[in-house]
Amino acid sequence: MIETRGFKIFRFFGLAFLSIVVIVPLYVVLTTSIKPLADVQGLFTWIPSRVTLEPYLQIWQTVPLATYFKNSLIVTVSATILSVAMAVLAAYALARMRFRGQRSFSLVVLSTQMFPGILFLLPLFLIFVQIQRTVGVQLTGSYLGLIITYMTFSLPFSIWMLTGYFASIPKELEEASMIDGTGRLGALFRVVIPVAKPGIIAVAVYAFITAWGEVLFASVLTSKDTRTLSIGLRAYASQQDVYWNQLMAASVVVSLPVLIGFMLVQKHLITGLSSGAVK
């Protein structure tokens, strides 16, 4: 396809506009996080009157941010591990085995992504309350309820993406391993999973990000002791004032784990997403 001059100009201004839309909010967050409190209580200014790192020290004292960090890590890491483990087994079965209702199962799994999360909030809460009454397992206000919720929400897309990735792996690799005496599970863990590492990493990143920044279910299913970061950030706003500099500083700190993790697995993530989307 030959690009015309008009198309190049349109692409340039389009990309420039999108870059501004991304860069300006990021600049506001970063500059506000290093402003003194006096700068954020009056009219908005683009340039701080002076640069200070006090907000980054005060965020740990204003609210129990370390506790929220711990809660988020426990919930997010647990949900990610469970989601990836179940997605690997389910996707491998869909990609390699033939059974009655396989197509219907795949469509049902994928169709769950069409519904907004808020649609499941009340039914899920009522189910958790009923389980507590009948079985005695605490699901509301505990880590377990939030872990189950996040795992089930990331699981359908994880299964769908890994199914395409496993289907792209030649069956001959497993057959050669099974001829040497390795069973079906042995072939999965010794042959398929090492080859499918980029796809599994992509699924793990997706599950982690989905759980790390979720607000709606965390606001209902957590208590004071199990509150996560996405809910804890609201504590920087009181009835009298909003500590904007601390709020922005906390937002930067909260974003660091996701940013660092993404940079570490960026190569595998791109490969996994592109390969899983082909099938």
Task: Collect all residues with Cβ–Cβ distance below 8 Å to 250 and sequence separation of at least 6.
Answer: 59, 63, 65, 233, 236
Backbone φ/ψ region at 136: left (φ over 0), alpha (ψ -120 to 50), beta: left
Reading the chain (279 residues) residue by residue, the pLDDT tens digits are 556 777 788 888 888 899 898 898 888 888 888 888 877 777 777 888 888 888 888 888 888 888 888 999 999 999 999 999 999 988 888 888 777 877 777 777 777 777 777 888 888 888 888 888 888 788 888 888 889 889 988 888 888 888 888 888 887 777 777 776 777 777 788 888 888 888 888 888 888 888 888 888 888 888 888 888 888 888 887 767 777 888 888 888 888 887 887 777 666 555 545 554 444
* Cα separation, 237 vs 201, whole angstroms: 36
State how far the alpha carbon of 44 is from the alpha carbons of 39, 105, 128, 243, in Å: 7, 53, 45, 14
Task: Collect all residues with Cβ–Cβ distance below 8 Å to 7 and sequence separation of at least 6.
Answer: none
Q: Which CATH superfamily is domain 61-243+257-278 in?
A: MetI-like (1.10.3720.10)
Tokens 């030959």 — which residue?
2
Tokens 């049902």 — which residue?
108
* Cα separation, 217 vs 37, whole angstroms: 32
pLDDT of residue 36: 84
Asked whether 53 and 121 are in contact (CB, 8 A), the reply is no
pTM assigned to the model: 0.80
SS3 174: helix
Domain boundaries, the chain: 61-243+257-278
Crossing angle of helices 143-167 and 197-212, rounded to 10°: 150
pLDDT of residue 188: 80
Decide: residue 251, CB within 10 A, 0-12 exposed, 13-18 middle, 19+ buried.
Answer: middle
